[in-house]
Structures are given as C-alpha cells and as structure tokens.
C-alpha cells in the first residue's frame, strides 16, 4: 500500500512536470476512466492565494471559483481534460472579476494552448474537416481556432518588411469547383487560403492590412481573374 501511494505520488509529480503545473497551482486529483478512455486532471490553487485583477493588476483575494474544462493533448490514446479551478477575485476598484488568464489555455475556449498548436500543425497537412474527424471535434470549432491563430501569427510573427512581390494563384479543391486563393510571398514565409466566393474580399483585406503594416512597394501579377 505504501509502495502504491509512492507510485501515485511519483505519477502526480511527473504529470505536474509534463503539464507545467507550478505554484500556486497543484494537481488535486487524477481520474482515469477506462470506459470513455479519458483522463481528467483536476488542478486547484493553494489556499489564501491572491491573484491579479485583470483590469488594474492589483493583488486581490479570491471571491469564489468554479472548475472550467480544457481539452488537452491525449495521453497515449486517452483523451485528457484539464479541470482547472478558476477563481474570481474581488477588487476594491473593479469588484468581482474572473482572473485574466490561466497558464494552460484561453479562458473563452475549450482547448489548451498546446491543443490549439496541434490543431494548427495538423491543418498544415490536411483539411480542417479531416482534422476535426481525427480529433473527434466539430470542424466549426476548429475553424475558429484556425482563424484566431492566423490573426495572432499575422500580428506577432510575420515580418513583411522585406517583401517586394506577392504571387497570386488559385487551385481547385478535390478536383471540383471549390476554389481556394493562394497568396505566396517570395521572401516572407506565408500562405493564405480562402474559398472562391471570398477571394476578392480576402485579397483586398490582406493587401490593406499588409499596406497598413509593412509595405512600401507591392508588385501584383495575374490579377485579371479577381
């Protein structure tokens, strides 16, 4: 019995390391369910922890809390869910508010950051509907992740300062009449796709954001079909 408890503590410690659960957070419970092939990890925070107000960043006492659930990357072939006890703080100036962030995922979405990254990796290899099928999720949900991450990448990661030429092309999807517009830049690495019906809007929007951000000179080719 002592040996089993020790093993469980070792597993708890290993999982804390893997999930990067650091103080004041800790794993309270791990529930493995063979029937649904799922692992639920319950993450709490230590008593008397104070959290920053999302508006003024003042350290505040906890008012109340409730568990919120994020789907995380699978553990082997078991679905893994993080059940995080998310507090609401009571700020003298801003009253009762949910804390601004937790380490594992966005507050308004059901998936962890790592799960979102996995979705984006898979989307580079296959269609969103195929990704949804593989992960057992609804494709409309994955599309919202896809659009959010593309916008974040455009804001944070892409550097268009050296771009002088944009190549435009279109291709048919699955040999049918579903067309996608491809915008490729020869220096910066980027590729955007949009359905045919949206291509004019997509291209105009992209060029406008491009102009607003970086470009001083753009050469466009093959625009007769727009």
- Residues in contact with Zn ion by the rule CB under 5 A: 53, 55-56, 91, 93-94
Shortest reach from residue 101's CB to Zn ion, in Å: 15
Shortest reach from residue 89's CB to Zn ion, in Å: 8
Shortest reach from residue 52's CB to Zn ion, in Å: 8
Beta carbon nearer to Zn ion, 82 or 91: 91
Identify the bridge partners of residue 52 per DSSP, sorted by sequence position: 59
Contact call for residues 82 and 41 (beta carbons, < 8 A): yes
Beta carbon nearer to Zn ion, 53 or 102: 53
- For residue 38, give every residue at least 6 positions away whose Cβ sits within 8 Å of its Cβ, in sequence order, or none: 32, 78, 79, 80, 81
Shortest reach from residue 134's CB to Zn ion, in Å: 42
Beta carbon nearer to Zn ion, 8 or 56: 56
Q: How far apart are CA 193 and CA 152, in angstroms?
A: 16
Q: How far apart are CA 212 and CA 145, in angstroms?
A: 24
Q: How far apart are CA 200 and CA 215, in angstroms?
A: 19
Beta carbon nearer to Zn ion, 86 or 192: 86
């Amino acid at each position: 019995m002592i040996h089993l408890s020790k093993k469980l503590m070792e597993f708890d410690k290993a999982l804390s390391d893997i999930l990067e659960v650091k103080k004041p957070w800790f794993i309270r419970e791990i529930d493995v369910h063979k029937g649904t092939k799922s692992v639920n990890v319950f993450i709490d925070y230590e008593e008397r922890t104070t959290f920053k107000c999302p508006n003024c960043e003042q350290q505040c006492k906890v008012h109340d809390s409730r568990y919120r659930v994020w789907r995380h990357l699978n553990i082997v072939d078991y679905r893994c869910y993080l059940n995080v006890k998310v507090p609401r703080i009571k700020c003298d100036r801003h009253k009762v508010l949910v804390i601004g962030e937790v380490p594992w995922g966005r507050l308004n979405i059901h998936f962890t950051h790592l799960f979102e990254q996995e979705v984006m990796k898979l989307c580079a290899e296959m269609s969103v509907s195929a990704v949804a099928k593989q992960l057992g999720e609804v494709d409309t949900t994955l599309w919202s992740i896809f659009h959010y991450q593309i916008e974040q990448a455009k804001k944070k990661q892409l550097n268009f300062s050296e771009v002088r030429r944009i190549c435009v092309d279109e291709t048919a999807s699955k040999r049918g009449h579903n067309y996608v517009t491809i915008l490729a830049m020869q220096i910066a690495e980027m590729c955007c796709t949009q359905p045919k019906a949206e291509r004019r809007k997509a291209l105009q929007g992209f060029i406008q954001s491009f102009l607003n951000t970086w470009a001083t000179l753009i050469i466009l080719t093959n625009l007769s079909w727009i």
